[in-house]
Every structure is written in structure tokens, then in C-alpha cells.
């Protein structure tokens, strides 16, 4: 059974600081996704990582994937209040029906002024 673990689950940080969210998964996978969720809303796609060593950046967020370590990271640079949200990683695989995902527990990020 595929398991996906995120840490930390709760993160409170000051504006301007940097931090990293970690996502570990238990079995080989082809795809790693990062999503953002605002309260009461659905998921917003941030990144799709498809290969070992993949790195993608958008604004203050950068995601990377190490398939050998079964680890993905989401790095936040110079945080701003607007980044406050819950961030989920999710894992999928080619052998399954397209985009059947297993989600991590989520990291609730609060950026304080």
C-alpha cells in the first residue's frame, strides 16, 4: 500500500523567511504533484514532477523530486502572507488509471507579518 507522509503538518513562519516542506512516499512512483488549498476551496495545481532530479519553480515556490530517496521538497523563499494555505503533495503512477492519486496529510502554512 502506497503511503505518503508530509512534514511538518503545521508551519508558522515570519514573512521574509525561508522554509522547506518534505514529502516522503513508500513505493516507486512516476509522478509527484504539489497542490495548494485555500480554506473552503478546491485544489490548485502547483507542480507536476515526472523524473528524478526534476526541479520546478514558480515565484517563491520551488519543488524538487528525488525518486531514489522517494522524497520531494517544496521550498518557500522569502515567504509572504499570501502564501498562507494548506499544501498537499500527492503521488501517482503510470500503472494505475491515469492520475489516481494518494495524498499526503497536508501542511498548513501560516505566514505572519
Partner 1 sequence: GAVVSQHPSRVICKSGTSVKIECRSLDFQATTMFWYRQFPKKSLMLMATSNEGSKATYEQGVEKDKFLINHASLTLSTLTVTSAHPEDSSFYICSAPAGQGVEAFFGQGTRLTVV
Paired with 31 in beta bridges are 92
What is the C-alpha to C-alpha distance for residues 105 and 58, in angstroms, rounded to an integer? 23
Residue 78: how many CB atoms within 10 A of its CB? 10
Measured from the CB atom, the residue of 31 and 64 that comes closer to partner 1 is 31
Shortest reach from residue 37's CB to partner 1, in Å: 9
Name the minimum Å distance from CB 60 to partner 1.
Answer: 21
Q: Is 97 left (phi over 0), alpha (psi -120 to 50) or beta?
A: beta
For partner 1, which is the closer residue by CB, 13 or 48? 48
Q: Kindly state the smallest distance separating residue 69's Cβ from partner 1, in Å.
A: 22
Q: Would you say 12 or 18 has its CB closer to partner 1?
A: 12
Q: Which residues bind partner 1 (CB under 8 A)?
A: 31, 33, 35, 40-43, 45, 48, 50, 88, 90, 92, 94, 97-106, 108
Give 30 or 66: the residue with its C-beta nearer to partner 1.
Answer: 30
Least distance to partner 1, CB of residue 105, Å: 5
Q: What is the dihedral of CA 22, 109, 50, 29, to 10 degrees?
A: 50
Output the CA torsion sign for 18, 74, 6, 107: positive
Q: What is the DSSP letter of 81?
A: G
Amino acid at each position: 500500500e502506497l503511503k505518503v507522509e508530509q512534514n511538518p503538518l503545521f508551519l508558522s513562519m515570519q514573512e521574509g523567511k525561508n522554509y522547506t516542506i518534505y514529502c516522503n512516499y513508500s513505493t516507486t512512483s512516476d509522478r509527484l504533484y504539489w497542490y495548494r488549498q485555500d480554506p473552503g476551496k478546491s485544489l490548485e495545481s502547483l507542480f507536476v514532477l515526472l523524473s528524478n532530479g526534476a526541479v520546478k519553480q514558480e515565484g517563491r515556490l520551488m519543488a524538487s523530486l528525488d525518486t531514489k530517496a522517494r522524497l520531494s521538497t517544496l521550498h518557500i523563499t522569502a515567504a509572504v502572507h499570501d502564501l498562507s494555505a494548506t499544501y498537499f503533495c500527492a503521488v501517482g503512477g503510470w500503472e494505475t488509471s491515469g492520475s489516481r492519486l494518494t495524498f499526503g496529510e497536508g501542511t498548513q502554512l501560516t505566514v505572519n507579518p
